[in-house]
Amino acid sequence: MIILGESMEFQDTILRSVEQHPVPYLVKLKGLDYVMFPETFNPNYAKASLFLLDNLGVQDGDVVLDPFTGSGADAIFAVREGASRAVAIDKFTMPYLCARYNVHRLGLEDRVDVRQGDLFDVLTEDERFNLVIANPPFKAMQPHSDIAAALRDEEYATLHRFFSEVGKYLTDDGRIRMVFSDVGDMDLLQDLAKNHGFLPEVVNQTKYASSVRIEVYEMRREK
């Protein structure tokens, strides 16, 4: 388990890296030219985000939901990997605008629907998805800013809500691909999944700086 002080220092470094960009800037994201906006989490700054991008688990024709979209990268790469369409949602204005801008500049407006809202609030009751991609905040702390909310989730309220509601929007054989790290409470994550009828299976794992464990889970309903 990573030491608390190291975890805090690592998260603070990521936040400072994002905050140093007051205007949009161009990056390479998995070889793709991508425009990041201010106050928007840059996946290049976190190994967990890049690890999920490498393990999206998309199958041809999937309809995908990305309810923690941030820059929009997971949804965009999902359709580039064969999803028929994706809905990308973010709570905050700058990430929402960032995702919309990149969808537009990449010519994907007919396949990626970007919405601003809190988790599932902007979905209709009849929308269903084959795959939900989730990169939730890992640390049970109160965020001090919009960008910090990408990393910190007070008392894991967001994670609790995610598992209590996500099943309503999955097809019968739908699945979740989620990344999580032991800078947070991985036992709680697995317990929440099981308590809401999902079986969490680790499909890939890696480490950061030799001490931080990162896992990508696939979760399906218990039969």
* CATH code, domain carrying 56: 3.40.50.150
pLDDT for 211 equals 78
pLDDT for 167 equals 97
Total count of domains within the chain: 1
Please tell me whether the overall predicted TM-score, pTM, comes out greater than 0.85 for this model.
Answer: yes
> How confident is the model over 47-105, as pLDDT tens digits?
999 999 999 999 999 999 999 999 999 999 999 999 999 999 999 999 999 999 999 99
Domain that includes residue 94, residue range = 4-221
Q: Report yes or no: 42 and 27 within 8 Å, Cβ to Cβ.
A: yes
The full DSSP string for 8-77 is: HHHHHHHHHHHHT--S-EEEEETTEEEEEPTT---GGG-HHHHHHHTT----TT-EEEETT-TTSHHHHH
